[in-house]
Chains A and B, each alone.
Chain A
């Protein structure tokens, strides 16, 4: 009887979870073994899709682009969010203003931030180019048409857009550091820098580790802002793996191959999240 009642509580979640979370994982495996288009499944091809993947230069290129995005954004994100958290933790009357301003871009939709950036960085009549010219720097950078500059653009936009979340995690970490540690070291005559180095930083290591792992995990899923800002260009230089999966599936009409590549992504993310969960277990003791 008790069993029945409990199952009634669990049932709604259970059904939705099975259909939309668990079943797609199995379905994806099946699809990756077939030649499968947008209309229906065609024929069983075994591991052919996976073989194709290992020999596909676009797969490796886009996987590398995604990895490059992770490499570029993770350390910058950690440093920036720590810096902003330290500023927002200062005991001044600007405290709330700092925190709100650093966080506010995070609530905007990816489409909004992307087009905001496109319009601001437009050559000839974009705000940023006009501004640098008006202060006397005679340059006309093409932010989205140059390999290096388009990466700079994407990394900067991503930092601006998403740093607020990590800043708040660091802020929570900072506020958890017992005041008594600072007071004791103040009595011992420690300088501000020494306090930062020997108290603040070590105390932030656990939350820092969580932030790094969450950041890597989230960055491997990068897609929308790159699609909207550079459309993967110039010449595929910024195209991430998820965009390639999307194109193979929905423009090249090959869901089977797209599912196989999704499995590769799944595998990478699975390993990362196992590392993350292990790390968290350690934190909790």
Chain B
């Protein structure tokens, strides 16, 4: 009986006294080993972040700065002149805006289309339902990279090459989004939906007022991934966009980098400008991003 109590106590995460004891115990017995692990962890963490830190330091060096002394990249003088130069005298602001517009619209449309279809597949009865669901699942097995050549022809015949819509439309029908949302919508209690129907609610109202608000975590996860995916998409904009004014950042940056190979400073500033919005977003939404990956990764 005592032993049983002990075990259940140990399991109980809510017992603060036990937690304290456990961590003391760990510190006493495993302190040296733990120290080694933490040191390794810190070294690896520094190695991982270092190139990004270096990029940020290079971006605030005076234009044309060059050195063979690794340390002097990090020492003053600093200037924000490169940022001002690039933001006002190059297309980078335009590319940033393009990336933003495309990513935001792609995300909104993906969420809209997938949630509508997933709602019907989850909550409504209709003919060919199973067949349609399987048909959507097939899309999981069609890699965009392998259909990019015919996609180019399709976009060409629809007059979508070299346009925002051409960048957005091919990216918004996400079968993975359907699967994740459908399984999430399936978890909405049947009684809630049924009683809403009894009260004369239309399906659209149920979708909009009940199911969507209940599914915020799933929508957030899909939204974050669609946004990052679109922001960083390279192959399709690289092929389908011809005019410089319509470049997105990933396609624009290489032009930039190869035009200035003599000096690192301006290209690094361009790279920093492209990264800072996402770095900030990451620091703000880190928890949701991490949750989203474990959520979608396992399902998909």
B126: A residues at CB distance < 8 A: 2-3, 5-7
B244 at the interface (CB under 8 A from A): no
Quick check: A21 and B52 within 8 Å, CB to CB? no
Within 8 A of B (CB), among A245-262: 245-246, 249-250, 255, 258-259, 262
A165 at the interface (CB under 8 A from B): yes
A131 at the interface (CB under 8 A from B): yes
Candidate in B124, B146, B148 with the most chain A CB atoms within 10 angstroms: B146
B70: A residues at CB distance < 8 A: 127, 130-131, 134
B201 at the interface (CB under 8 A from A): no
Sorting the interface of chain B by its residue count into under 10, 10 to 19, 20 to 34 or 35 or more gives: 35 or more
A125's nearest neighbour on chain B, judged by CB, is B68
Quick check: B279 and A115 within 8 Å, CB to CB? no
Given contacts A107-B278, A115-B253, A228-B254, contact A245 B154 (CB under 8 A): no
| Residue-wise interface mask of A (1-23) relative to B, using a CB-CB cutoff of 8 A (1 in contact, 0 not) | 01101110110111011011111
Quick check: B45 and A102 within 8 Å, CB to CB? yes
Candidate in A9, A31, A107, A183 with the most chain B CB atoms within 10 angstroms: A9
Quick check: B125 and A9 within 8 Å, CB to CB? no
- Shortest Cβ distance from A246 into chain B, in angstroms? 7
Within 8 A of A (CB), among B92-135: 112-114, 116-117, 119-121, 124-127, 129, 132
- CB-contact partner of A273 in B129, B132, B140, B235, under 8 A: B140
Assembly CA distance A207 to B294 (angstroms): 10
- CB-contact partner of B290 in A103, A108, A249, A274, under 8 A: A103
- Shortest Cβ distance from A237 into chain B, in angstroms? 21
- Shortest Cβ distance from A88 into chain B, in angstroms? 8
B48: A residues at CB distance < 8 A: 101-102, 104-105, 160
A13: B residues at CB distance < 8 A: 113-114, 116-117, 136, 173, 178
- Extra A-B contacts (15), CB below 8 Å, given A102-B45, A104-B282: A3-B127, A5-B124, A10-B116, A19-B158, A24-B154, A109-B231, A109-B234, A109-B253, A127-B54, A168-B290, A172-B298, A224-B250, A262-B149, A266-B142, A269-B146
Q: Which residues of A contact B (CB under 8 A)?
A: 2-3, 5-7, 9-10, 12-14, 16-17, 19-25, 27-28, 31, 84, 87-88, 90-92, 94, 96-105, 107-112, 114-120, 124-125, 127, 130-131, 133-134, 160, 165, 168-169, 171-172, 179-180, 183, 192, 207, 210, 214, 217, 221, 223-224, 228, 242, 245-246, 249-250, 255, 258-259, 262-263, 265-266, 269-270, 273-274, 277
Q: List 18 A-B contacts (CB under 8 A).
A: A5-B126, A6-B120, A10-B132, A12-B112, A13-B178, A16-B173, A20-B154, A105-B48, A109-B274, A110-B232, A116-B271, A117-B51, A120-B51, A168-B294, A183-B7, A223-B235, A249-B149, A273-B140
